[in-house]
Amino acid sequence: MGSQALRGILTSVEATAKKGRLPICVFDLDSTLFSTAPRNLAILQEFIEEHRGAHPHLSDIGKRIGLEDMGWNVYQDLQRFGVEDARLLERLKGFWFERFFTDDYLSHDTPVPGAAEFVLACHAKGALIYYLTGRHVGGMEIGTVRSLKSRGFPFWRGRCVLHLKPSFEMNDRAFKDDAVSDIRSYNGEVVATFENEPGNANMFSRAFPQAMHVLLTTIASPEAEKPSAQLVLTDDFQLR
């Protein structure tokens, strides 16, 4: 169903443009277009290297842990390998927090399979590419632009918008609620939205009922809403 829906979106983008309307495709970034597992793993490996003497098995864990072990947060990832030292895990939380939301570590992210090619195809058929991300201004904008460009996504070529949170403290859901009015200001036609968080995907479905709403089944919050039955589920962007 996923690849069929993706092909249908490309057809709809082209048809909308031919009608003289501006087709809009809205893409979240983390865990939607990009996998953050490599970013988390790099931070965790760095932590293990700096704290290997703090736990008898930490060095061995560092050799065994991989991308497939990365889940919602690195503390639970380490716990699954038997680390229960509360003080060490608390140190890891601070270590991770200081690095994850910074420009430098964004370079570790890798595109979800087929993501760059699909976004390029949408753009080539006339879509406005609206990157809507919870990454914040004042710490992640340079790395975000660098990642989009280096990973092959359209950016400096017209009909591309990057909408970041104005501050780190702003609630992600509230930010995306506010972004709906900005998307509407382009006076186009939202053809499709792409999200990994069911709550945000459900919100887009209510805001733009005529569009197709795609939920990436990658990683979502443990407290995530139940996804609406109207959402299209896929784990990548490959057209196959």
Contact 220/201 with Cβ under 8 angstroms? no
How many angstroms separate the CA atoms of 93 and 198, rounded? 25
Q: Tell me the per-residue pLDDT of 19-28, one tens digit each, with 9 for 90 and over.
A: 999 999 999 9
Q: Which residue type occupies 183?
A: I
Strand partners, 189: 23
Contact 153/41 with Cβ under 8 angstroms? no
* Whether the model pTM is above 0.85: yes
Contacts of 12 (CB under 8 A, 6+ apart): 23, 191, 192, 212
Residue of 65, 76, 73, 90 lying closest to 36 (CA atoms)? 73
94 pLDDT band, cuts 50/70/90, is very high
Q: Tell me the per-residue pLDDT of 66-83, one tens digit each, with 9 for 90 and over.
A: 999 888 888 888 888 888
* Sheet architecture: strand order including 23-27: 160-165, 128-136, 23-27, 189-195, 212-216, 232-234
CA 45 to chain CA centroid, Å, is 22
96 pLDDT band, cuts 50/70/90, is very high
How many angstroms separate the CA atoms of 75 and 101, rounded? 16
Angle between helices 115-124 and 2-18 (to 10 degrees): 20
Contact 163/130 with Cβ under 8 angstroms? yes
How many angstroms separate the CA atoms of 162 and 164, rounded? 6
Contact 50/43 with Cβ under 8 angstroms? no
Which two structure tokens, joined as six digits, stand for 78? 């380490």
205 pLDDT band, cuts 50/70/90, is very high
Q: In b/e form, how buried is each residue of 9-45, taking b as 16+ CB within 10 angstroms?
A: bbebbbebbeeeebbbbbbbbbbbbbbbbbbbbbbbe
Higher pLDDT, 49 or 236: 236
